[in-house]
């Protein structure tokens, strides 16, 4: 079965493969970390299987990333690296809630200064 590259399953599968290869994990290592079968990981990455949200949660845990990061797609279109919101979101990835609140306050102060000087 050839998966359609535009299906959500294919897009998520490609994201899983990208995160896995960035971490230099084999499919077997990710499967072990996720408590899933290695063949299943391969089928998910190829878009041949449509995993449940429970399974996606296991895979995200196996990749040591939050589920929302795995699912962060924009209706099948690639986000340009120059997109300001995307760049900010990527820069903030990995901060805890307290750090995020501090950063949010700083950004609010900066935007307020910019509005006042316009």
The domain of 103 spans: 84-116
Specify the pLDDT at position 74.
64
What pLDDT does 44 receive? Answer: 95
- Whole-number pLDDT of residue 13: 93
CATH code of the domain containing 13 = 1.10.260.40
Cα–Cα distance measured from residue 8 to residue 95, given in angstroms and rounded to the nearest whole number: 28
Contact 4, 10 (CB under 8 A): yes
Domain co-membership, 66 together with 89? no
> What is the per-residue pLDDT for 86?
65
Residue 1 has pLDDT above 60, yes or no: no
| Residue 108 maps to a domain | yes
Pairwise CA distance, residues 113 & 78, whole Å: 33
Whether 21 and 51 share a structural domain = yes
The residues that bridge with 74 in the sheet, in sequence order, are 77
The region of weakest confidence among 2-6, 46-50, 60-64 is 2-6
Asked if residue 50 has pLDDT above 60, the reply is yes
User: How much is the pTM?
Assistant: 0.61
């Amino acid at each position: 079965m050839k998966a359609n590259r535009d299906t959500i399953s294919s897009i998520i599968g490609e994201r899983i493969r990208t995160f896995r290869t960035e971490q230099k994990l084999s499919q077997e290592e990710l499967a072990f970390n996720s408590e899933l079968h290695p063949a299943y990981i391969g089928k998910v990455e190829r878009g041949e299987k449509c995993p449940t949200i429970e399974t996606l949660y296991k895979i995200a845990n196996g990749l040591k990333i939050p589920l929302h990061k795995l699912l962060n797609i924009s209706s099948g279109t690639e986000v340009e690296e120059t997109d300001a919101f995307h760049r900010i979101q990527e820069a903030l990835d990995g901060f805890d809630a307290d750090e995020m609140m501090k950063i949010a306050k700083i950004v609010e102060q900066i935007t307020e200064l910019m509005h006042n000087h316009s």
